[in-house]
Structure 1
């Protein structure tokens, strides 16, 4: 068979990698609109729903840097293909899951596969596209990921409404096969990049620490912060984080070079990347529970309504390059967080009697602000570090995005659960006919958005408690966005001038390390 010319081969490489990116990015948020259906079909508890959301982005974030290191050692195409196999297999496991635990396990396998897909993706594009064409290709790749995340609620809603919740996972099988075939035929520049040691200890410590953080947040909200599980998780998280920092600071080939955080702009961009996902996508599961559980919309209707948020993200993404050129990075990033802050202050107006239209103006502002943040923060993360560390910086920034989603969902879930508990005390539930010992079950039903399963006498009380919880979530998100405004003003350079920025910081000479490029 005749080999395609280099230009055709490069375009097919871009198509293959972009389709894979679309799958992995979409699955961070597409599951949100399926949560009420999952809760009803599998009798999932609120913590199980949180882990259904969190297991994927948590492992995705924790293994991105390790996946990049491994791809440099054994070959980028090999790791990419392994990732696609894991992601597709995890999707099949989720689609066939008979209970919540198997579903969570499938999401974890998806997360491992997603990390192995995304880690070598940009280096594969770099090998296929030389010179200025490389920038365009990476721009298309990034735009595909952003649009996929933005459209995920609408696509998920349509799938749940027409084919059931399992279809949001099984839909990955066909593109997964396409990507496998494309990777086998078209990917180039995929061999080992030299003998480099995999920082396995750092990767394991990272996963343990992040998992313990999530478990502490979820268990603390559900059983109280003095419960044995929550307290044990906090101790494990603190010990794991201390061990991770110690190992990464001493190894000659770290998964994460901690010296990067001496650069103020890099540290700021990393924190802001985390906050962007946390406040942008961390609240989405609870907006879906409000729309479907409390307001009674179908999955498709909820997806259509959240498409307003998605459209605003796309609009902001399309305008951001022009705004950067005219106003500079600092002003654009600050404006993005100001928009998110203002948006959540509007969302905080929701009450038990509110309709979707009350939240719409705020969500449009939130989406537009998020669209102004994605591309600049990624560009800043790479441009302010020494050139030889750009790959590691890119991997670090990518890791903060799914990590923000996972931690945001956990924290906002804890806030919502706590406010629902405060709004449904035992004595009030007893006055509305709830028997002693059943109060916790009622609160779990409310937190899971299962209003149709509630006793009729407590429905109105439950609506007030849930709306109050969602309003509190919006206030907390607004406060986090205010932190983002302050961090942006203090750390983000006003203009894209990498050479000047690096000169001002003068970081210590880099140690040997693994990069993704």
Structure 2
């Protein structure tokens, strides 16, 4: 393994900035979608794909991109990814001049968002794996906690930045600022990041990478399109089937091949299984909550884009302190206790939110946002730390990619479930309104954004109509949060059963056997080259790698 000497603080700053860039590119577009739809004449399907296609390529390419970083250098892959992301955001500004390629501007935006997702797939795994392979041992755990908090901060900052830009400028300003930030972060990473790699210990596994692409791509596509096409439609069933078959084939191939992309035997370890499950539940709930909260703030509290972004800031009051305390508490109390407490905080915030109605105010929302942030802050860092520490240093790109993949899958599942439940509650509530003209109700069912425009045609009952639409949005919000509450409640019960307790963790770590975390390893001696300004040092390192025997 080769690591260039670097400043840990600058390394952490650069990697965290790149991670924030990836997540902010997801959340920033949500606020710009209404204006994009109006300006480009985009259909509802086009608007949906502007968001979904970024996550689709990001999730599908994470594992292969992580392996490429292990093989050829994590810094190199990250710089390539930031460059692609910056070019894609910048190119979106010139859609009106690219009609010779595609006359439909909305489709051009979708194409550039796909390119952005490809760039993000090279960035995301390289950020965490750089932290775990280059930071000193005494700073690594804090670095993982800060990285975890930064991922959620990226979502908040994206909404806040986009809201401020949309209120003062056009939708193009969002892509312009993201391209400028990409250029700045590219320079920061170029100067501050060390290039770590493990060309001898990493495995590209082309066939396994192809199977993972089909497996993740098929499942993610089906989850994204299920609420739109219908869960029983042929396309969705075929996508689930193809993804499921590819997933089974991937697992069988990884068990058989001598140099797997992802050694699936790592999931024999209870800590890894429970940590992976916890991350999936957390991000299902987190992104589902975020998706419906934006609509609740806009249509019930009546907030504009900037105020909507500012309303999420209280989340940081719970998130950052809890993130810094999570891993030290895990060492003292055990992963089971801390992880379960985090999921319980999440469940409590969702239960409180289900009781919101048309009379809710900002202080009510701020309270559950703080509790929600504390839950994520407690549950996420130890789960991430357990996951990335389960694989040796030469596979940290893949370990980071697995961690990121669970997050992206959770995001896709959460948005699909929360969106479906919101639409179901909102539309069923609109259907109960019999005192208004049917043609107006049918239009209102499509989106609550049309309510003010539709209300102008109702002379005497305009205020009543607006109130009923607002109440219907609150009904959809409540339905969504109940669904997410049951997910986190079931997840917490399964977690407390599956996760190892403090006694088993201490027993496992104190026994010096070849079985570590339930897996068989062998000791291998390698050499690390540290390049300074005037000299190059070569030191001997003993590592543990998974044994084939």
Q: How high is the TM-score relative to the length of structure 2? A: 0.80
Trace 1:221-236 onto structure 2 (pairs within 5 A). 221-236=227-242
Return 5+ residue gaps in structure 2 as ranges. Answer: 97-104, 459-464, 525-544
* Structure 2 match to 1:33: 31
SS in 1 for 2:14: helix
Flag the 1:199–1:192 CA change in 2: closer, same or farther, 3 A: same
* Structure 2 match to 1:300: 306
Return 5+ residue gaps in structure 1 as ranges. Answer: none
SS in 1 for 2:200: coil
Asked whether the 8 Å contact 2:28–2:162 carries over to 1, the reply is: yes
Distance in 2, matches of 1:504 and 1:364, equals 37
Aligned residues: 503
Asked whether the 8 Å contact 2:56–2:221 carries over to 1, the reply is: no
Say if 2:456 is the partner of 1:452: no
SS in 1 for 2:471: helix
Q: What are the Cα deviations for residues 129-177 of structure 1, in whole angstroms up to 9, with x where unaligned?
A: 4554555555555554454344443333223323344333322222322
Q: CA deviation at 1:56?
A: 2.7
Q: CA deviation at 1:284?
A: 1.0
Trace 1:293-332 onto structure 2 (pairs within 5 A). 293-332=299-338
Say if 2:218 is the partner of 1:212: yes
* Structure 1 match to 2:426: 420
* Structure 2 match to 1:400: 406
Say if 2:240 is the partner of 1:240: no
Q: What are the Cα deviations for residues 440-461 of structure 1, in whole angstroms up to 9, with x where unaligned?
A: 6542223xx4433445555444
* Structure 2 match to 1:434: 438
Say if 2:68 is the partner of 1:70: yes
Distance in 2, matches of 1:452 and 1:413, equals 22
Trace 1:32-431 onto structure 2 (pairs within 5 A). 32-94=30-92, 99-125=105-131, 128-133=134-139, 140-190=146-196, 193-194=199-200, 197-383=203-389, 392-425=398-431
Q: CA deviation at 1:313?
A: 1.7
Say if 2:519 is the partner of 1:507: yes
Q: Which has the higher strand share?
A: 2
Q: CA deviation at 1:299?
A: 0.7
Distance in 1, matches of 2:200 and 2:436, equals 69
Flag the 1:142–1:305 CA change in 2: closer, same or farther, 3 A: closer
Q: What are the Cα deviations for residues 372-401 of structure 1, in whole angstroms up to 9, with x where unaligned?
A: 122111112234567776664343123211
Q: CA deviation at 1:27?
A: 2.6
Distance in 2, matches of 1:474 and 1:136, equals 32
* Structure 1 match to 2:491: 484
Q: CA deviation at 1:270?
A: 0.5
Flag the 1:450–1:327 CA change in 2: closer, same or farther, 3 A: farther
* Structure 2 match to 1:467: 474
Task: Give the RMSD, CA atoms, in angstroms.
Answer: 3.5
Q: CA deviation at 1:306?
A: 1.6
SS in 2 for 1:171: helix
Q: What are the Cα deviations for residues 192-227 of structure 1, in whole angstroms up to 9, with x where unaligned?
A: 623855234433443443343344344443343333
Flag the 1:86–1:390 CA change in 2: closer, same or farther, 3 A: closer
Q: CA deviation at 1:504?
A: 7.7
Distance in 1, matches of 2:140 and 2:226, equals 47
